Structure 1
Amino acid sequence: MTFPAVLLFFMFHTFPVIKGVFYSFTNWRGYGEWDFVGFKNYLNLFKDDRVFHAYGFTIQFAIIATLLVNVISLLLALGLNAKIKFRNTLRGIYFLPNILSVVIVGYIFNYLFAHFIPQISEKMGIISLSKNILGDPSLAWIGVLLVAVWQAVAFNTILYLSGLQTIPTDLYEAASIDGAGVWKKFWSVTFPMIAAFFTINMVLAMKSFLMVFDHIMALTGGGPGTSTESIALLIYRGGFEGGEFAFQSANAVVYFVFIVVISIIQIRFLQRREVDM
């Protein structure tokens, strides 16, 4: 009974991947004839300044976004896990961004950054926010970061809430009897007990932000210039719009290996910390 699913997976995932790896060793432009060029495309990747810029931007973006998402999500989860009124309603509200389309969210925030925020800031006399930051090469990435973090926080918060539900209340009662304060309870009880959830969130968030595409496409299109061009966007543009199908296929292979290596390093490091805790 699993054969149809395996067949579909192979047709729409495995076969295209194998085909992409194959074309990475050619000079195919996405159309016409092609010839084998060996590792030429891979060698040229390390000579392309645009590729280096895309990797630099993506890595910087992913690290900052991952840290922000996990800090904010954990704080929200701790707050939503407390015994407060309308707790379930608040959980639903905080999860709403996760079910919204990235493209729709991007266009809404594009309007906010371009019109609403500058107008409000101008009336309030805040000069630094009276312009569209998405049009500034040095600030555009901040706008993308804010939107990406805002939407990603919802899913990570749910995961942290799931982890907090697994902590026995007896541990907190014992810690209170021992005279532990709020910070001591968090560091000695809460965080060690949700260490596995922290690992999952860090790995998933990092992988997701390394593959950032939709937010950039909807907000800046990679601009101004190439200031917010991520690796995924570069591969898409160069491969499907720039006649660099084989070259960007090689870039995609390197990109895939890079994400796998980063994920493995994260998992091993964080799991080692779980044991230490």
Structure 2
Amino acid sequence: MATQTLRDEPRTGRRDDPAKPRRRRLFPIAFYLMVLPAFVLFFVFHTIPVIQGVYYSFTDSPGYGPSRLVGLRNYIALFTDPRVLHAYWFTFLIAAVATVAVNIVSLAVAVGLNSRIKFRTTLRGVYFIPNILAILVVGYIFNYLFSNSLPALGERLGIDWLSTSLLTKASTAWIGIVILAVWQSAAFNIIIYIAGLQTVPAEVLEASRVDGASAWRQFRSITFPMIAGFFTINMVLSLKGFLQIFDHIVALTGGGPGTDTESVALLIYKGGFQGGEYGYQSANSVVFFIVIVGFSIVQLNVLRRREVSE
């Protein structure tokens, strides 16, 4: 009987440990407990306010006191409000121009820093400094430059168009905003492009150089297609960030002259927290959220299809 029992046991020689199933059950619980604090904080400080904002978008709340439900009245009014429509148009203008400009500048700088130049490691750190500076502080510095330093320089050089501040006219104020936005955002994009350029095999570039390919042909046919994924990331993040532009405008123009340089984010802040339009601007926030998500999804799909085609 003893021999028969030994034969019936598994040949592995290992017996089931009764503690193992219990340990397997405990590990997922431990993981859930570690994630729980972050989930609670996110739910309390993000999800609940979002749900409350959606609710207030259907009310006439001024931000304090009692309010009543008004249905879709706020959403309908948004599409006939000239101030809101102008804010969306201005935001799209800034986002489109700044997204293209920052990626051109960042890619050019990244290619230069990736080449064999002296002090390139130091320069990478220098170029990243704008990304860690407080944009409001930097914005007020740029405000002083645009309003005082450049006009004084223009007067001494006899340049009429430079003798007046860019920020005093609606036709030129947006240029100052784009300059500040590109200067501040280029740092992050440069780092991403440098990371992408380091994935391009040096052997492939050397082989193309031996075959007589010019620097531009190497970039267009080899380098850029191989970093297309990094280009997609930068384009999507840049557009999303510039659509939410706020601090730059507060520091440079405050939305002026008049309301000509008001972005959607600034309009929501002014109307919701200073103008007694909390419910109305909550509806604007919901629409703006949908717009940003929609733009990001469309842009991501288009650029990914482009990556596949290349």
Alpha-carbon displacement from aligned partner over 1:202-234 (angstroms, at most 9, x marks no partner): 000000000000000111100010111000000
Alpha-carbon displacement from aligned partner over 1:127-170 (angstroms, at most 9, x marks no partner): 10111111112111111111111111111011100000111111
Amino acid at match of 2:246: F
Separation in structure 2 between the aligned mates of residue 137 and residue 83 of structure 1, nearest angstrom: 43
Amino acid at match of 2:73: K
Alignment of 1:71-82 (within 5 A): 71-82=104-115
Separation in structure 2 between the aligned mates of residue 176 and residue 218 of structure 1, nearest angstrom: 48
Indicate the residue corresponding to 1:120 in structure 2: 153
Is 1:260 matched up with 2:285?
A: no
CA RMSD of aligned residues (A): 0.7
Structure 1 residue runs of 5 or longer lacking an equivalent are: none
What is the CA distance between 1:179 and its match in structure 2?
Answer: 2.0
Separation in structure 1 between the aligned mates of residue 112 and residue 275 of structure 2, nearest angstrom: 48
Separation in structure 1 between the aligned mates of residue 223 and residue 202 of structure 2, nearest angstrom: 10
Indicate the residue corresponding to 2:136 in structure 1: 103
Amino acid at match of 1:14: T
Is 1:239 matched up with 2:264?
A: no
Is 1:137 matched up with 2:170?
A: yes
Q: Which runs of 4+ in 1 moved over 2 A?
A: none
Alignment of 1:176-191 (within 5 A): 176-191=209-224
Is 1:174 matched up with 2:207?
A: yes
Share of identical aligned residues, percent? 59
Separation in structure 1 between the aligned mates of residue 64 and residue 217 of structure 2, nearest angstrom: 63
Which of residues 199, 202, 210 in structure 1 aligns to 2:235? 202
Amino acid at match of 2:223: T
Is 1:88 matched up with 2:112?
A: no
Length, aligned pairs only: 277
What is the CA distance between 1:178 and its match in structure 2?
Answer: 2.4
Amino acid at match of 2:231: F
| Larger of the two Rg values belongs to structure | 2
Indicate the residue corresponding to 2:261 in structure 1: 228
Indicate the residue corresponding to 1:250 in structure 2: 283
Question: Secondary structure of the equivalent of 1:2?
Answer: helix
Structure 2 residue runs of 5 or longer lacking an equivalent are: 1-33
Amino acid at match of 1:255: F
Alpha-carbon displacement from aligned partner over 1:18-74 (angstroms, at most 9, x marks no partner): 000011011111111111111110000011000000000000110000000000000
Alpha-carbon displacement from aligned partner over 1:240-273 (angstroms, at most 9, x marks no partner): 0000000000000000000000000000000000
Taking structure 2 as the reference length, the TM-score comes to: 0.88
Separation in structure 1 between the aligned mates of residue 146 and residue 178 of structure 2, nearest angstrom: 13
Separation in structure 1 between the aligned mates of residue 37 and residue 158 of structure 2, nearest angstrom: 62
Taking structure 1 as the reference length, the TM-score comes to: 0.99
